[in-house]
Every structure is written in structure tokens, then in C-alpha cells.
Amino acid sequence: MRFHAPKRVRLVHKIIQFEQVSFRYPDEEKWILEDLSLTVLRGERVVINGPSGCGKTTLLYLCNRLYPDNCDGVLNGSIKIFGKDSSSFIPGEINHRISTVFQDPDSQFCMQTVEEELAFTLENLHVRREEMEKRISEVLTLTDLSEFRHSVIQKLSGGQKQRIATACALIMQPEVLLLDEPLSHLDPYTAKKYVEWLDELQQKRSMTIVAIEHRLDLWGDFFDRSISLKENKEPPPFDKRKSSKQDDVSLVVNKVSAKSFLQETTFSLNRGEIAVLAGPNGSGKSTLLKALCQLIPSSGSVEPKLLGYVPQSPEFLFLTKSVQDEVGFGGGINVDEMMTRLQLFPIADAHPFAVSHGQKRRVAIAAMLSDGREVILMDEPTSGQDAAALAELFQLIDERACEGTTFLIVTHDMEFAYCLADSVLLMRDGCLTGKFEAGAMWSDEQLLLDHHLLPPKEVMHREACFA
């Protein structure tokens, strides 16, 4: 008789223990985490969820000892890591055993090229030079990044940076991997492959994985269990909107190109049209938006020249010292309405740089929607948003489109795109490959595959019913 080993076998050891942990920043009275108790076992795969701004990222920073020392935070309760009180570890001691992929990968890069960044990580671990070459080559092969070995990191796309940040974490051969929304900047196909790869890697190395994630649809049954920090009240799914675009042209893009990567691009959008810009990581989507706003050297013409823009890293827009001042900067209209609808009043007095990633994005969106621009460009507006924030964002964009505002939105969220878009512009290798009516393209499997996209769940369900 043959016995088959289970998919995952792990010894029951407590890796991370929180007992009645409370944490707040020194200048704030409100606790970000309060009386939190939890345990993570060796080899577990745990996902942390909860509404935007509830303290999920703070929890990770307490696990890797970034907090409280690096922010002078106030900490009550007990935290044990690998069975020891977390305060007993000397600075840097825990970092090679617990690796972190941050929500904003730019925040963890120190060197210019991918190879230099990986070598720098190994130097901090005092790895011998003769071993560095082997480990760098191995991790680049493992993460399918070999072709980017000599690339300048800041010239790569957000999704490529996310994969590089993961490679930097894995080269340390950690026992625990902390992931802060690792799929947020990945195209759907790459995200699916990332989960499959992480599943295989975890089984080979028996790592413990703790991840923050709002959307679990691409993760399948990857996680063993979830930890909810606060009740996440899920609103009903938004319905597919009816087109509101009008006959008159609102945005004209004529032969816009950029030497860095972007090939000549020509298209137009009608007044009130909502267009989604989609394609693989590194295909040129963010570059196109920057070229339209003349933020990078480019040629060609764009009408109108005054466009509203919400970048992938929204903090680059911030100019003031409070969320409310930022939303109203420049004499914006309907500031209070935007603050209310995008759930910003609870953080109205906070510094824009001090709030969560999802909240930063909503601050930038609120400021742009209050600014009265006729055409608004958004780069990954759904990243870091919980279900309630997504539903409100959907309604706001729909309402503004009905009033005549035109939107061009980069997103990897195909459910959001399916319900919202009038048209979809597809890009690949720096080239606009076509503009498609949204309803006509979701069933074209080859077209979607060529652009690293997956059909929305509703389309897959409908096709399964008629199969």
C-alpha cells in the first residue's frame, strides 16, 4: 500500500505572537491597533484584511521590527517573534529571517540597477563575494527577471519593480515573507503566475507567508486562513453602467511619442467617455499618461493641454500639510462632498504623507475631482482600496462622466474595468495596439491573452453557462 504525503506538512511552532497589542504614533491620541491578539504558525499562509486605513501595514511593520523604534511609536502589550520578545533583537538582526515586500516598492530601493540592488542586499548580510554571483543568478531565474539584470530600476514599470522587490526579499532566503498587497501593480496574467510561483516556492522552502490583500479573487485557495482587523462591510457589487459619452470629441492625441519607450500614439475620446488603458506590465501605460501631461520629454500634440492627473505614486502631487488642505488646494469645488464620499474626514487633519497607501490615493483623486478639469487621467486608482471605497469611486466617476468629464484610466482590475469602461485602449511593447468597444473585447480570449489580461468573472460565468 502506498501512502501519499499531504500537500503541505508543517511543524506547529509559533513564529509570531501578539498579545493585547496596542500601537499609536507619538503625536496622535487614537490607537491604530488596539488590544490585538494573534498567532502565526511556522509554514502558515495568512492573509490580513480589513478596511483601508485600519492598521494592516502597521501590523506588518511591528512583525519586522520596523516599528516602533523607527517612528518613536507608543507600543503596549507583548510581541514575540521566533519565541523571543521582539524588543530583545538588536537592530537589523531580524531582517534576514523576516523579509518584507512593501506596498510601494520604490521605498525600499537604494541602488541604480537590479544587479546592484541585489548585491547591496547580500553585502548587508555579509555574504562572501564568490557566493553572490550564484545567489543573484538563482533568484533572477526564480523570479523570471534575468533579462532585467542590468536594467535601471527607476526606468521600469510599477509591476516590474514589484517583482524586483520580491526578488530582493527572497535573495535573503528568509523564514518569513511579509507581503503588502503584492498584486496591486501586476497585470492579471502576471498576478496569476505570481501566485502560482509563490505557491510552489512556499512548498519548496516551507516559508511562512503573511500578506495584506483587499482582493482575493486571483489568489484562489492559496491562503490557509485570514485575520480581519476590523469588520469590512461589503457593499453590494456595482452594476455595469450605461454609456454616457457624447458625440463631441473631448481629448485628441496626435502622434504622441517618447524616446524612452513610447511609439507614436494617436487616438481620441469623446466628451463623457470613460476609457480604460490596459496591457502587460512594462507596456508603456504610465509612460503614455506622463507624455500626455508633458511630464517627460515627448513629441506630438494633445488637446486640451490642461489635463487632470492622478499618478501611480500620488504623494508626488502633495503640497500641503493636511488632507483637507490638499483636497482644497487651488480653490477646489465640492471639497466637503469629496471628503465625505471618499471617507477622508476621519483623517482630515493628518499629513497626506502619514496616511495609508489607499488613503493617499483617495486624497489625490478627491483633489483632482474637486479641481474641475474636463479630462482626468488616473493611474491605478483602485490600488489599495477596500470594497466600500471602490464602490464610491465607481459612483463618482460615473456621475462625473454623465456631467461631461472624460476619463482615461490605467487599471489592472478587470472587474472594475468591465463595469465602468465605455472603451478599452490596449498597449503592448510601447505601442497602442487598438481601441475597442468595451462590450466587444471581453470574449476575445486571444486578444486578452496577448495583452496579459483575464476575462472578468461575469464573462467567464456567462460563457460557462452557455458552454
Q: Is the model's pLDDT at 107 over the cut of 60?
A: yes
Rounded to whole angstroms, how far apart are CA atoms 179 and 223?
Answer: 13
More confidently predicted of 394 and 205: 394
Contact 137, 171 (CB under 8 A): no
Q: Is the model's pLDDT at 235 over the cut of 60?
A: no
Strands (E), 204-245: 208-212, 225-228
More confidently predicted of 421 and 6: 421
| pLDDT for position 12 | 53
Rounded to whole angstroms, how far apart are CA atoms 413 and 416?
Answer: 5
CA-wise closest residue to 199 among 222, 217, 169? 222
pLDDT digits (tens, 9 = 90+) for 335-368: 999 999 999 999 999 999 888 888 999 999 999 9
- Coil/strand/helix, residue 178: strand
Domains of the chain as residue ranges with CATH: 14-228 (3.40.50.300), 249-307+373-461 (3.40.50.300)
Going by the DSSP 8-state scheme, the letter that residue 313 receives in this structure is S
Q: In what order do the strands lie in the sheet with 375-379?
A: 308-310, 375-379, 406-410, 274-278, 423-428, 431-437
The cell for 119 is: 548585491
Measure the N-to-C terminal CA separation of the chain; round to a whole number of Å: 40
CA-wise closest residue to 393 among 235, 285, 190? 235
Kindly give, in sequence order, each residue whose CB lies less than 8 Å from that of residue 436, ignoring residues fewer than 6 positions away.
423, 424, 425, 426, 447
pLDDT digits (tens, 9 = 90+) for 206-218: 899 999 998 888 8
260 — pLDDT class (breaks 50, 70, 90): confident
Type of residue at 262: L
**Dihedral angle of Cα 232, 397, 218, 141, to the nearest 10 degrees:** -120
Q: Is the model's pLDDT at 226 over the cut of 90?
A: yes
pLDDT digits (tens, 9 = 90+) for 15-49: 999 999 999 988 778 899 999 999 999 999 999 99
pTM of the model: 0.83
| pLDDT for position 234 | 59
CA-wise closest residue to 170 among 131, 123, 136? 136
232 — pLDDT class (breaks 50, 70, 90): low
**Burial class (CB within 10 angstroms; exposed 0-12, middle 13-18, buried 19+) of 467:** exposed
